[in-house]
Amino acid sequence: MKIIHTADLHLGMRPDKGRPWSDERSEALWNALRRIIQTANEEKAALLLIAGDLFHHQPLLRELREVNALFESLAATQVVLIAGNHDCLSPRSHYRDFSWGENVVFLSDSQTESVFFEDLNTEVHGFSYHQTEIREPLYDRLRAPRDGRIHILLGHGGDEKHVPIDINRLAAAGFHYAALGHIHKPDLREDLRLAWCGSPEPVDRTDLGARGYIVADITDRQTLLRFIPCARTSYLPLAVRITPDVTREGLARTLEQTIEKRGSQHIYLITLDGERHPDTDFSQPVPLSGRIGQWTDRTRIFLDYDRLSRLHEGDLLGLFLKEAKQLPPGPLRDKMTAYGVRACLPDK
């Protein structure tokens, strides 16, 4: 039996809100679901499992209708989903009275329930969040029945505020597969028959690395997991070493070449380090055509203090540099020393 396991799509979110590309990123989350639906049809998957946080917030009625239409476009795939901490069933949630298509099962109870697919001899177990936090390790007490069926757990959690999970205890619970959500970084434990699929698209700059979903081949004897990369956009850290001869214009050219090579669709987290010329300021981003999600300037002002100390030994500048060396190292000392040198030697 082939299943597709996804979670944490966060539909309705506006990643990088306020940035020019925010609307495009919001639509990319929906496009990820469309690609997963397409894969389910191409792979003729028996089940599509969504392990929580399908939405980033309480879903709007129109959003549920759009998602349901996508699910109904599945040719031969049953959908099972639960609500996570972001889209939990609040008292007024549209989840509570929405009519899903015939191929969709929403495990909406706050206690573990299940649905049995007779033609697959498979039972899927799970529960939905009814509040944003669940601190009890509720999965620890679950056990899969020994009744000849294939048993799958659909879960959401893994940190201290969201159903803490003891991996070894869950692995010993007897499920043929535990399809987990909430942790955005994919973590496949094929030997333990469990996995966090991660988010199919990164939703903020902490979501580094590959993003996608899982195709699992499950029998009563084994579980094989295959990670499918899905994200079209990545947050890419970019460290740049600055030397005193680097100008803002030169840095811009270097970064443009890097962005052109790695892809303008990505979002770059740029960190500058090293020593800059006293007259060059990198505290503000240089003009770039690419998407800059973060700009961090850790450069220090460069002056050859040892040479200046030797040249000005005994005069005011030499005495100043001698005293400055006694201060704790750091950006404040660097800046103060540079200002002092420039006051004594305006051409520097």
10-residue mean pLDDT series, the chain (348 residues): 98 95 96 97 97 97 98 97 97 95 97 97 98 96 95 97 97 97 97 97 95 95 95 96 96 96 95 91 93 94 78 83 83 79 68
Q: What is the pLDDT of residue 312?
A: 84
The strands making up 150-156's β-sheet, listed across from edge to edge, are: 113-117, 122-126, 150-156, 177-181, 194-196, 187-189
Q: Is the separation of the CB atoms in 135 and 113 below 8 Å?
A: no
**224 has which bridge partners?**
217
**78 has which bridge partners?**
47
Q: What is the pLDDT of residue 328?
A: 87
Q: Is 153 in a helix, a strand, or coil?
A: strand
Q: What is the pLDDT of residue 56?
A: 97
Q: Is the separation of the CB atoms in 99 and 93 below 8 Å?
A: no
Tell me how far apart the alpha carbons of residues 191 and 90 are, in angstroms, rounded to a whole number.
37
Give the number of C-alpha atoms closer than 13 A to the C-alpha of residue 48, restricted to the C-beta side: 29
Tell me how far apart the alpha carbons of residues 102 and 91 are, in angstroms, rounded to a whole number.
25
